[in-house]
């Protein structure tokens, strides 16, 4: 049986990562061969961290080879633990980096979710500065962006990132895998500060319930945050058909998203810019979410170089009633936020409607009018929502003045 395990990356061009090989031995203590771009400055600290990590993991004798490309301590710890596990050793305890403050800070049910930026779960170079781009949410992805052979290593890395990185106020999200693998992912993220779990390829409300039950069980043992929200992703014809049931599957569902790459493949269609092939599914998700009282979230826009196309896509999603969109590159975030914001004309009209409504109420009038037009309740409701959104996005002062 092999007693050698390795984890991480060592190819040319690697940044902010490392490759660690661990050969377990029966004697000889811990021997470390370190090659690092920062050895002159941090070589002793890296070796000390590796020795201390072996002690925590219960490894007394091993030959460790490290090729470091500027990995931060939480990455070194993750790669060491993954290599030890792959060598066939069950750690005495996980190698947990010191937790940042506010680790188990509760999320907000109705917060803005205009943008959610995907970060591949096995690419640590993207993590530290991701929050600086200002997305509403950051998704540490354990599913499609991670190769099957690297999912175990990504779990350790994502867990450590959740514990240590300040994402600048972005909602801390994790997309888990499907089925039993996804339920296993929860043990690695729920105790460590995740605020929202995305559930991929949902076709049955029971999939949502199973995730919710597992999170509840972890929380009851003191292993979880006070509250973890859920966002199922609809990616098939069956999922779209059952959108409302899925959105209502748990009170912890706060949003319902659609993923069109898998959906169009499922129905045997090519995804187009016009989107006629997916309009029905998007309408299902939108109406299912609204009927269930949760946020409808649109799919990603896959051409990161087409800013005009992205803006048009967001404006179209907004016109349908979606409130958010996925992002696959940081440069998309600002465009998404700006396009989802109410325009100056929309804000001005909404403010005038709200003022007319408030004036009519103060005078005890049962009819609201603006100029020569009568204003009914749905129009007032929409105007109030526009004003509230403008305030939240900093486009309008809370008192109504610009």
- Say how many C-beta atoms besides its own lie within 10 A of residue 366's C-beta: 6
Q: What is the mean pLDDT of residues 282-288?
A: 98
Question: What is the predicted pLDDT for the residue at 360?
Answer: 78
Question: What is the predicted pLDDT for the residue at 368?
Answer: 74
Instruction: Flag the least confident range among 45-49, 65-69, 360-364.
Output: 360-364
Question: What is the predicted pLDDT for the residue at 220?
Answer: 79
Question: What is the predicted pLDDT for the residue at 138?
Answer: 98
Give the DSSP letter of residue 58.
T
Question: What is the predicted pLDDT for the residue at 401?
Answer: 46
Question: What is the predicted pLDDT for the residue at 182?
Answer: 98
> How does DSSP assign 125-164, residue by residue?
GGSTTGGGG--SEEEEE-STTS-GGGHHHHHHHHHHHHHH
CA 259 to each of CA 198, 297, 394: distance values in angstroms, whole numbers, following the listed order: 12, 10, 30
pTM for the model: 0.92
> Which one has a higher pLDDT value, 117 or 371?
117
| CA–CA separation, 340 and 318 (whole Å) | 6
Question: What is the predicted pLDDT for the residue at 398?
Answer: 73
Question: What is the predicted pLDDT for the residue at 224?
Answer: 59
- Give pLDDT tens digits for 177-224: 999 999 999 999 999 999 999 999 999 999 999 999 999 999 877 665
Question: What is the predicted pLDDT for the residue at 38?
Answer: 92
Question: What is the percentage of the chain residues whose pLDDT exceeds 70?
Answer: 96
pLDDT at 52 over 80: yes
Residue 157: name the closest of 191, 188, 135 by CA: 188
Q: Is 6 helix (H, G, I), strand (E, B) or coil?
A: strand
Question: What is the predicted pLDDT for the residue at 221?
Answer: 73
Q: What is the rounded end-to-end Cα distance, in angstroms, of the chain? A: 70
Domains annotated on the chain, with CATH: 4-86 (3.30.230), 115-340 (3.20.20.60), 344-392 (no CATH)
Residue 106: name the closest of 297, 306, 252, 250 by CA: 252
Instruction: Read off the pLDDT band of 399 (50, 70, 90).
Output: low
Question: What is the predicted pLDDT for the residue at 402?
Answer: 42
- Give pLDDT tens digits for 124-154: 999 999 999 999 999 999 999 999 999 999 9
Measured torsion, CA atoms of residues 84, 89, 91, 92, in degrees rounded to the nearest 10: -140
| Sequence-ordered alpha helix ranges (H) in 260-400 | 260-267, 279-292, 307-320, 331-340, 344-362, 377-392
- Give pLDDT tens digits for 261-272: 999 999 999 999
Contact 228, 173 (CB under 8 A): no
> How does DSSP assign 281-309, residue by residue?
HHHHHHHHHHHHTSEEEEEE---TT-HHH
pLDDT at 301 over 50: yes
| CA–CA separation, 375 and 368 (whole Å) | 5
Average pLDDT along the chain: 93
């Amino acid at each position: 049986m092999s007693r050698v395990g390795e984890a991480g990356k060592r190819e040319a061009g690697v940044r902010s990562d490392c490759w660690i090989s661990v050969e377990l031995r029966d004697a000889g203590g811990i021997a470390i061969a370190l090659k690092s771009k920062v050895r002159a400055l941090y070589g002793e600290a890296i070796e000390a961290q590796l020795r201390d990590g072996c002690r925590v993991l219960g490894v007394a004798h091993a030959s460790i080879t490290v090729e470091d490309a500027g990995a931060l301590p939480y990455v070194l710890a993750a790669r060491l633990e993954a290599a030890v596990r792959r060598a066939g050793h069950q750690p005495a305890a996980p190698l947990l980096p010191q937790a940042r403050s506010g680790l188990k800070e509760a999320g907000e049910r109705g917060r803005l979710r205009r943008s959610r930026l995907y970060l591949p779960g096995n690419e640590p170079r993207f993590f530290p500065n991701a929050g600086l781009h200002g997305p509403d949410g950051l998704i540490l992805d354990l599913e499609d962006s991670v190769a099957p052979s690297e999912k175990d290593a990504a779990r350790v890395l994502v867990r450590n990132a959740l514990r240590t990185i300040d994402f600048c106020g972005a909602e801390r999200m994790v997309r888990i895998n499907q089925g039993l693998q996804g339920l296993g992912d929860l043990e690695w993220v729920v105790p460590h500060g995740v605020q929202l779990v995305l559930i991929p390829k949902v076709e049955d409300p029971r999939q949502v319930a199973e995730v919710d039950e597992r999170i509840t069980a972890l929380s009851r043992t003191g292993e979880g945050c006070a509250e973890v929200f859920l966002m199922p992703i609809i990616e098939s014809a069956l999922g779209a058909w059952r959108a409302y049931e899925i959105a209502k599957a748990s009170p912890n569902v706060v949003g319902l998203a659609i993923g069109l790459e898998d959906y169009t493949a499922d129905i045997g269609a090519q995804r187009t810019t016009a989107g006629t092939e997916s309009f029905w599914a998007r309408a299902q998700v939108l109406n299912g979410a609204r009927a269930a009282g949760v946020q409808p979230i649109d799919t990603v826009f896959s051409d990161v170089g087409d800013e005009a196309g992205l803006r048009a896509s967001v404006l179209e999603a907004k016109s349908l009633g979606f409130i958010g969109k996925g992002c696959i590159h940081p440069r998309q975030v600002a465009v998404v936020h700006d396009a989802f914001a109410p325009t100056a004309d929309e804000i001005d009209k909404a403010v005038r409607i709200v003022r007319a409504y408030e004036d009519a109420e103060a005078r005890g009038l049962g009819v609201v009018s603006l100029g020569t037009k009568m204003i009914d309740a749905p129009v007032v409701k929409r105007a109030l929502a526009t004003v509230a959104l403008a305030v939240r996005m900093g486009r309008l002062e809370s008192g109504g003045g610009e």
